[in-house]
């Protein structure tokens, strides 16, 4: 958890609140200090003030977007307005809270953001595992997999490849064993469960 706010009292109060909940918190007085900390980009949630000396919160958000840093941002501000909030949300912020804010609302938002982050990591880990399994296939097993995904029967695949039915069955058996599946439907679930819709083609390509 990271807090970037030029108000020392705000930083301290947020740190105390979040640490009571068992969260590890790093605080920064400005955007430059945040960017100077290599570990900061790995924080689960960034509580970011909008108006600060030097680089503003919106400018920091733009910098993080340019770096493709996947850091969920919750803006907090005592001087925000609707156009500013709209700009922040369009740039990817998850929410925009006005100071003073209800502590429970803040806590609920943070917990939701952390859950989303963990779910995204689980999906990424799942996609990596699918890629690892696919990489273990031989070129012929990949061809058989592609044909199976197109709905072709073993006999049709054998004719297309100019090999015996038994050979296709052997390749198919090894392919499914390496993927850790028993049925064709399991292959679709494996690919769809690891990545968003339409990712199956990306993983197979």
Share of the chain above pLDDT 70, in %: 91
**Rounded average pLDDT over 130-148:** 91
The two tokens of residue 174 are 């090894």
Task: Examine the pLDDT at 150 and tell me if it is beyond 70.
Answer: yes
pLDDT at 166: 94
- Answer whether residue 22 shows pLDDT above 60: yes
Q: Are 43 and 1 in contact (CB under 8 A)?
A: yes
For range 6-10, the mean pLDDT: 91
More confident position, 165 or 123: 165
CA 162-191-150 angle, 5° bins: 30
| Whole-number pLDDT of residue 4 | 95
Q: SS3 for 4?
A: strand
The single-letter DSSP state of residue 71 is -
pLDDT for position 114: 77
Task: Give the domains, in start order, of the chain with CATH numbers.
Answer: 2-121 (3.40.50.2300), 136-204 (1.10.10.10)
pLDDT band at 200 (very low <50, low <70, confident <90, very high): very low
Q: How far is CA 77 from the centre of its chain?
A: 26
Assigned token pair, 171: 């390749």
What local confidence, expressed as pLDDT, does residue 29 receive? 95
């Amino acid at each position: 958890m990271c807090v970037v706010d030029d108000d020392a009292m705000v930083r301290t109060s947020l740190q105390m609140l979040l640490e009571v909940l068992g969260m590890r918190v790093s605080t920064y007085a400005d955007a430059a200090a945040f960017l100077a900390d290599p570990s900061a980009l790995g924080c689960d949630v960034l509580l970011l003030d909008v108006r600060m000396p030097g680089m503003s919160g919106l400018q920091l958000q733009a910098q993080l977007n340019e770096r493709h840093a996947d850091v969920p941002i919750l803006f907090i501000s005592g001087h925000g307005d609707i156009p500013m909030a709209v700009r922040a949300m369009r740039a990817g912020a998850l929410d925009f809270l006005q100071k003073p804010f209800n502590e429970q609302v803040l806590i609920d938002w943070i917990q939701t953001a952390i859950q989303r982050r963990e779910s995204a990591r689980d999906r990424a880990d799942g996609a990596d595992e699918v890629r690892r399994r696919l990489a273990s296939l031989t070129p012929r097993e990949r061809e058989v997999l592609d044909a199976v995904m197109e709905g072709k029967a073993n006999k049709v695949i054998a004719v297309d490849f100019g090999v015996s039915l038994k050979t296709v069955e052997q390749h198919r058996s090894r392919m499914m064993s390496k993927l850790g599946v028993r049925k064709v439907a399991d292959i679709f679930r494996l690919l769809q469960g690891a990545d968003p819709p339409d990712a199956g083609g990306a993983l197979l390509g």
